[in-house]
A = this chain, B = another copy of it.
Amino acid sequence: MARAGRRPGPNETREQIAEAARRLFAAQGYDGATMRAIAAEAGVNPALLHHFYGTKRQLFVAAMNLPFNPADEIPQVLNGPPGEEGARLVRMILRLWAEPDTRAPFLALLRSAVTNEQAVTMMRQFLASAVLATVARARGISRLHASAAAAQMMGVALLRYVLEVPPMSTATEDEIVALVGPAIQYYLDGGQPPAASQR
């Protein structure tokens, strides 16, 4: 839409930046799309990207319509009573997926990631750079431990909300937290082996 003769307002500039970010993240991946290149694509001064969105991570979250910034919120959940971080993380993720408004963008991201090579690149790099590195640093664990916890939660979300396979889709939030929380806790604790399987 050309808007000749009128200077775009802040909301339009914001949206122009988000559109440019979506295009470049899709074309070049999360790491490849620099803030400078996104600014050029949007035809704005790079300072405006920082003014409107702060960091690249926050711009990605906004551009993907993700309803929350995992890199900000996961560390918050990891603070609090020790030994129950796993349960809190499971509960947080179940609640995010349970809300239709939150589920829709996750689902869109997952659908495009399993069917589209550019979306895969974008999601891969965001997960690696933002989510896994953040969890690993916050807990002092390896990224492989963080990945295993992420894998568990992605699988639960896949069975419960995408494939809707019973009984994962019909169990209560409390049942899933009680069952899956200790497995997540095991990873967050750096892989202290469960009692039943010490080798």
A44 within 8 A of B: no
Bound CA–CA A127/B86 (angstroms): 26
Let me know if B197 and A195 touch, CB within 8 A.
no
Q: Is A47 an interface residue (CB 8 A)?
A: no
Question: Interface on chain A toward B: helix, strand, loop, or mixed SS?
Answer: helix
Contact with B along A172-183 (1 / 0, CB 8 A): 000110011111
0/1 string, A151-179, CB within 8 A of B gives 1: 11111101100111111100100011001
The number of chain A residues touching the other chain, given as a range, is 35 or more
Measured between beta carbons, the chain B residues less than 8 angstroms from A100 are none
- Other-chain contact of A162, B114, B150, B153, B183 (Cβ < 8 Å): B114
Measured CB to CB, the nearest residue on chain B to A152 is B152
Number of copies of this chain in the oligomer? 2
**B-contacting residues of A (Cβ < 8 Å)?**
83-84, 86-87, 110-111, 113-115, 120, 123-124, 127-128, 132, 142-145, 147-148, 150-156, 158-159, 162-168, 171, 175-176, 179-183, 185-187, 189, 191-197, 199
* 21 contacting pairs across A/B (C-beta < 8 A): A83-B197, A110-B114, A113-B162, A114-B163, A124-B164, A132-B165, A148-B152, A150-B155, A151-B152, A151-B168, A151-B180, A153-B155, A158-B158, A179-B191, A182-B197, A185-B194, A185-B196, A186-B197, A189-B194, A193-B195, A194-B195
Query: Which 6 residue pairs of A and B lie closest in terms of their CB atoms, listed nearest first?
Result: A155-B155, A151-B155, A194-B194, A185-B197, A192-B196, A147-B168
